[in-house]
Amino acid sequence: MSALDDAAAAALHHLRAGALDLAALPPLALYVHLPWCLHKCPYCDFNSHAMTGELPERRYLDAIVADLESMLPLVWGRPVVSVFLGGGTPSLFSPEGIERLLGDVRARLPLEALAEITLEANPGTFERERFRAYRAAGVTRLSLGVQSFDDALLARIGRVHDAAQARAAATEARDAFETFNLDLMYALPGQTPAMLEADLDTALAFAPPHLSVYHLTIEPNTMFARERPALPDEDSASEMLDAIVARSAAAGLERYEVSAFAQAQHRCRHNLNYWRFGDYIGLGAGAHAKLSFPHRVLRQVRWREPARYMSEALAGTPVSHEHEVAPEDLPFEFMMNALRLREGVPLTLFRQRTGLAPATIEPLLARAQASGLLERRGGVVRASARGFDFLSDLQAMFLPASRQPQRT
C-alpha cells in the first residue's frame, strides 16, 4: 500500500463514529516549522537548532512538500485561512526558498484569497532589501524578534544581534510591510523599569501596528535553567507590565490577547485561530497539528530532530505519534486557548469547536466565576482583570479532576 493510500485510510478512520458531534469543521491554518538558528538562545525551549554547517534548504523543503502531500487526504478541500512560517529563524531561508515553499503550498492547498502569510525573522539574519524580497515572494506579514534595543540586555540573553541591527531591521520591516510585528521581552537580567521604558520608546517610535511582549521565564532544559541569571523581582516585573499596557494603549494598540497588542485591523489572524480552537496543519521538524473530524479531534506530532524528520518525511512517515483528544480533555484544551483572548469567546463557540454541550462545563464556569477569575456577560466568557493576571490558575480550573493540581 502506498503512503497516499495509507493517508486515505487514516482519513476514513477518523470519519468513523465517535464520541463527539461537530456540526461543522473549524477554520484551518497552516504552520511550517523551520528549525535552524545562528545560535541557540539560553532561554529558548523551542525545537530550534544552531547551524553547524550549510543550511540544507533544498532537502528540507523537499521534506515539507512530502509531508504536506501525506496530509492531504485528511484535509482535502478545506480552505486555509493563514500560513505561519515559524522557527527557529525562518529568515535564514532564502527569499527564493520561501517563494518556492509558498508556491508548493498553493499548488496543493486552497488558500483563501486574503490569507495572511507570516514569516518570523531576526535582526541577526538581516540584510538590506531582504525583507522586501520576502514580501515579493508572497509573505504579507513580518514578525521581527528584536527582544530589546539595549546592547547590554541583548548580550545578557544571548542574542546574536545588537541594538543598531535591531533598529535597522525594524526600519526595513516598517518600510517593506503594511502589517508587521515587533517582539519584545521584559523582566530581563538586570533590567530596570527605566530600561524597559527606553525599549518601549524605541519600539513605539517605529509605529508598529502589532506588538508582542513576553515576560522572560526560566524553562526546564535550557541554559538559563542550569545557570540561572538574576532577574527582576515580581514587583518590578509587574510595574514593567503596567507600563507596557499603558504605553501601548496610548499608542493606539489594544491588548487583545495576553501577550499581544495591536491596531484593530492588524491582529494576528493565525494566532486568533489558535485561541479560538481552530484547526491547523503542522509541517516540519517537531511541528504539532490539530485536526477535527465530525466525531473526533486528532493531534499529531512530527519527528523532532531535523535530520530524522527529513528522512521520515521523504519516506512518507513524517508523524512520530498522534492521538485522539479524549472528550474529558477538551474543556481544558479549549479554555487554555480561549481565555487568552481579552474579549473572551461566546459559549456557542465551545459547542462548535468541541462538539460538547456548554452544560458539561457549567460547574467549572460557576466555580471560576465565584473565585473572581472569570466573567460572563450575554453568553460570552472571559477572564476577569484578576483572572488575566492569574491566567494559569484560571486555565487549570478546567483540567479533568484526575489532573487537577494537588492542594496542600
Return the domain boundaries, the chain.
Answer: 3-273, 328-402
**pLDDT for 18:** 61
Is domain 328-402 classified as CATH 1.10.10.10? yes
Write phi, then psi, for 210 (nearest 5 degrees).
-145, 135
Q: Which three cell numbers stand for residue 238?
A: 509587574
**pLDDT for 7:** 55
Burial profile 351-387: b = 16 or more Cβ within 10 angstroms, e = fewer:
bbbbbbebeebeebbeebeeeebbbeeeeebbbbeeb
The C-alpha angle with vertex 162 and arms to 157 and 166, in degrees rounded to 5, equals 105
**pLDDT for 124:** 81
Q: Are 282 and 33 in contact (CB under 8 A)?
A: yes
CA distances from 319 to 44, 238, 280, 301, 314 (A): 24, 41, 15, 6, 12
Q: Are 348 and 377 in contact (CB under 8 A)?
A: no
**pLDDT for 408:** 44
The stretches in the chain having pLDDT less than 50 are 4, 8, 12, 15, 408
**CATH classification (class only), 3-273:** alpha beta
**pLDDT for 407:** 54
CA dist 227 and 250 (Å) reads: 38
Q: pLDDT, tens digit, for every residue of 46-61? A: 999 999 899 999 999 9
CA dist 365 and 370 (Å) reads: 8
**pLDDT for 402:** 75
Q: Which three cell numbers stand for residue 390?
A: 492569574
Q: Which three cell numbers stand for residue 316?
A: 512518507
**pLDDT for 8:** 47
- In the three-class reduction of DSSP (H, G, I as helix; E, B as strand; rest coil), residue 29 is classed as strand
Closest CA to 241 of 271, 210, 214, 203: 214
pTM: 0.93
